[in-house]
Copies of this chain bind each other. A is one copy, B any other.
């Protein structure tokens, strides 16, 4: 199975010089979409494509550059700042525009002189959520996370019997999703009665945490009552962002039974601004299988379809910058290939009972922890439930987040003979 085409060629270079740097997240092989405007203005939001340290403004590009047949129609909703309409168009549209942009941004392109006038440096832009998000679902595909957290909440019963069979998920809050740079106010909330007491406490969260996740943005939706097949699901997702599922552990522990997390999660969720498309990630698809001896996916989650290349090799990282630090410090690293379910399985399961997905819907992957103890995707895991504080480079210690702490999620794909594909970052700061 050859998943890649000329747009993935690692030798391809852009006339945008910064896109050719070895360490850029946004080489010409990436071409992620975002919604931006010039900083410190209240101009209408526009859709752009990140290229090196620049943004190609698709409104200007549509107006000022000649394009091949059919491309202006694809650019039209994007010119209006509307990513959702484009997302709904599906795989062929995504591929056609990817090819057109790749050609136009490639070294030696005839379109270069027109498009040079359509660039804005990223450091002069303000970013918004990339699309309108109708519904947000958070999954729980990180089996190492589920096991580690399960041990803390239910020492006798860490991984529930359904975990290996059901892609566990729950609905999240859309209104409080923000883009990288979000200032997250420490939530107030109820916590369990102290030992010997019968009345719960109410006050500022004392166990404030992050969760390292990927966010999947839905491209093509489905009608209510018409589930997606795995084949459809495989191409119906649009792309990935980073997602920080901020969590108030003390509030969560008291409220979450029997209906799941609520206020412990809905005070904020932060995503990265650039949507890296499914197509940009194709070179990093890897085989998927549940280990032999483990439960195999039921037929509707058709594992055979995913066997060759259902998983993705994406390195994920959490960085922390306290108010005292001059630069952020890396806390951990994991890989999305350890996810217990594939993206196609998540979409398929979500619709299996008839639920309709819509373009722009957001699915969180769940916390992506690695198998080793130092690979926890949350402080809850890295500090063993707050019992083993981390000592930072400054000599400070942390069990949970303090006011002024900035959490930075990063993700990158790289490997021999392949272009580096980065997801940028999702950054958020705790304020008291």
Contacts and interface: CB of A to CB of B under 8 A. Distances in A.
A293 to B, nearest CB: 12
A365 to B, nearest CB: 14
Interface in A387-403: none
Interface string A278-299: 0000000000000000010011
B169 A262 contact: yes
A353 B170 contact: no
A422 interface: no
A147 interface: no
Given A200-B298, A202-B298, A255-B166, A174 B134 contact: yes
Given A185-B354, A225-B185, A300 B202 contact: yes
Identical copies of this chain, number: 2
Contacts of A357: 175
A261 B263 contact: no
A68 interface: no
B187 A353 contact: yes
A168 B255 contact: yes
A169 B260 CA distance: 8
Q: Pick the most buried of A134, A255, A264: most chain B CB atoms within 10 A of its CB.
A: A255
Interface residues of A, number: 66
A426 interface: no
A260 B258 contact: yes
A259 interface: yes
A401 to B, nearest CB: 15
Contacts of A91: none
A257 interface: yes
Interface in A151-186: 153-154, 160, 162, 165-166, 168-176, 178, 185
Contacts of A251: 353
A248 interface: yes
Contacts of A173: 135, 171, 355
A169 B259 CA distance: 7
Contacts of A298: 190, 199-200, 202
A135 B258 contact: no
Contacts of A266: 171, 353, 355
Contact of A259 (B170, B358, B361): B170
A353 B175 contact: no
A267 B355 contact: yes
A97 interface: no
Contact of A267 (B263, B295, B354): B354
Interface of A: 134-135, 137-138, 140, 150, 153-154, 160, 162, 165-166, 168-176, 178, 185, 187-190, 192, 198-200, 202, 205, 224-225, 227, 248, 251, 254-264, 266-268, 295, 298-300, 349-350, 352-358, 361
22 contacts: A134-B175, A154-B258, A166-B200, A168-B255, A170-B171, A171-B172, A171-B262, A173-B355, A175-B355, A175-B358, A176-B354, A178-B224, A188-B300, A188-B352, A188-B353, A190-B298, A202-B300, A205-B353, A224-B267, A248-B353, A256-B259, A256-B260
Top-9 shortest CB links A-B: A260-B260, A187-B353, A185-B225, A171-B171, A170-B259, A263-B353, A267-B354, A259-B260, A266-B355
